[in-house]
Amino acid sequence: MTEPIKDINDLKKVNDIKENLDVLATNNRDKSLKMLNDIIKLLPKEYSELINQAFIFKRIPKEYLLSSILFTISTAIGLTFYIKTLGYKNFANLYFTIVGSRRDTKSEGLKLATTPLKDFDDQDYDEYRLKMKNYNPETDDEPVRKQTLIQNASIEAVHKIHSENPNSIGIYQDEIYSLVEKMGNSNSRDGSEWRTFLLEGYTNGFVDVSRKTTPSFRIKDTYPTLLGGIQNEFIPKLFAHGNLESGFVDRLLFVPKLTSNKKLNRGQISSKVIEDYSNSVFKILAYKRQSEKPEEEKKQFEIILSEAAKEKIFVYTQELINKQELAKPMIKEYMSKMQISIHKFCLLIHMMKISSDMDFTKLLDENTVDLAIMLNEFYFNNFKIILDENLKTVYKEPTLQEITLVAKKNNASQKAVAEVTGRSKGEVSKWWNKEKNNQKLETSKELKNAG
């Protein structure tokens, strides 16, 4: 029989323990869905309204469009803006992978979010064609084509395009399975170079290219971003053939389908919502383009963090390191990359917040770090969903036995466990008493050994 609650402090303690148990018992999909809704509410309206209206009128899953928007902003920022904290200089390039079935609305979200990048590229291509029309090879330098989005290109072409557009390139593929196949083929030089490029590019490493057929060149600081869809059945292949061991998988931000709208609507997304979103992206792109001009002396701008923001990143990173020590292998490796992605998300969210007026003198504050942490944890939880549902592996929700152990360590009651898990009092009592007997047996063994 449990002791009655004597005062308000005891009640608070029990409630806190019940909340912790509730978190343990909650399904990972439910967790991600709650985090998704909280994140969207905190985004600037230029982005949140597009996500919400696209869900209503075009039935695009919110999580798919969110990831596609983050990719777009990440690509637009480029090497122009960076932050320095914990002794590191970090940029905002990230890799997003949208997971779903053939019937899911993956492509539409990708297209809608990246439209501003495509429009920007269309303008650049028209200018390039005009320059080529007037180009005289005997007297003029050959015009260089400006390009941001890359689709269906070989790694040789990607290297060349990035060398000509060093600020950023956005690798955008409706389905990334073909890329995964190349990377998994040990006989494919193309695949090996793709993997190396994406591994180095994540932390903005340099790339040297030397080939017999083309002049050699060097990209001093790379900045690739990645967005692509993949079907659930191909996930095991994504985790195979060196992609997991090399750390490529740990750099991917997965998003499974979490939301669904089965109701048709005759309306359409407000033209103002689309215009506001596009203008925000264009303003970021404009700064990137300005910094690329030869006459521009200042090529990069540091975003300064408030002291509170620095402290929050420090505390959160230390928490990740502590949790990493207790994590299982695949989770442990993923958490190491979370210590990098938190910086990238901080810069990304800050740029989204200031995109309406582009006042980059504003400090990156602790509220921005809070939202960045939410995004980091959202994609971490999605990774656990991918492991659980597609690989039948390591990460399982806690059993009643495990929840009982946590409850006993925190002096919670059997009743609290029953309420949180939805199990009967008899089931809880069975494990409760079993753990009690196990503890007595362990104590007896220790006393015997000591004697």
Cα–Cα nearest to 66, from 340, 258, 286: 258
- Whether the Cβ atoms of residue 288 and residue 78 lie closer than 8 Å to each other: yes
Strand positions, DSSP E, 335-390:
none
Lowest mean pLDDT among 100-104, 161-165, 181-185: 100-104
316-358 pLDDT, tens digit each: 999 999 999 889 889 999 999 999 999 999 999 999 999 988 8
pLDDT at residue 340, rounded to an integer: 97
Give the per-residue pLDDT at 427: 79
pLDDT, position 184: 80
- Residue 211: the pLDDT is 75
Is the full-model pTM beyond 0.75?
A: yes
**Residues 6+ away with beta carbon under 8 Å from 306:** 363, 364, 365, 366
Residue 442 predicted with pLDDT over 70 = no
3-state secondary structure of 172: strand
Q: Say whether pLDDT at 421 is over 80.
A: no
Say what the pLDDT of residue 252 is.
97
Place of tokens 């291509």: 125
Enumerate the β-bridge partners of residue 170.
149, 225
In this predicted structure, the answer to whether residue 439 has a pLDDT above a threshold of 70 is no
**Residue type present at position 412:** A
pLDDT tens readout for residues 268-288: 999 999 999 999 999 999 988
Q: What is the pLDDT of residue 23?
A: 52
User: DSSP labels for 294-346?
Assistant: TT-S---EEPPBPHHHHHHHHHHHHHHHHHHHHS-HHHHHHHHHHHHHHHHHH
| 247 burial type by CB count under 10 A (0-12 exposed, 13-18 middle, 19+ buried) | middle
Separation in Å, CA 68 to CA 30, 60, 62, 221, 365: 21, 11, 10, 24, 24
Identify the residue with better confidence: 250 or 425.
250
**394-405 mean pLDDT:** 61
Q: What is the pLDDT of residues 50-70, one digit of tens each?
A: 999 999 999 999 999 999 999
Annotated domain spans of the chain: 1-24+399-451, 28-391
Instruction: For tokens 């362990």, name the residue.
Output: 442
Q: In the numeric block, which tokens belong to residue 382?
A: 């999605």
Spatial separation of the C-alpha atoms in residues 158 and 143, rounded to whole Å: 18
C-alpha–C-alpha distance, residues 341 and 327, integer Å: 18
Amino acid at 178: S
For residue 20, pLDDT over 90 is answered with: no
Min mean pLDDT across 268-272, 309-313, 328-332, 406-410 is at 406-410
Strands 88-90 and 81-85, sheet pairing: antiparallel
Of the ranges 155-169, 203-217, 244-258, 319-333, which one carries the lowest mean pLDDT score? 203-217
Tell me the backbone φ, ψ of residue 209, rounded to 5 degrees.
-120, 120
Strands 224-231 and 169-175 come out as parallel
Query: What pLDDT sits at residue 12?
Result: 52
Q: What is the mean pLDDT of residues 365-370?
A: 98
pLDDT at 226: 97
| Token pair recorded at residue 117 | 């990048």
CA-nearest of 222, 223, 226, 225 to 208 is 222
Q: Tell me, what's the pLDDT at 419? A: 64
Mean local confidence (pLDDT), 121-132: 95
Instruction: Summarize the confidence of residues 438-451 as an average pLDDT.
Output: 51
The amino acid sitting at 99 is V
pLDDT at position 387 is 93
Contact between 73 and 281 (Cβ < 8 Å): yes
Domain 28-391 has CATH 3.40.50: yes
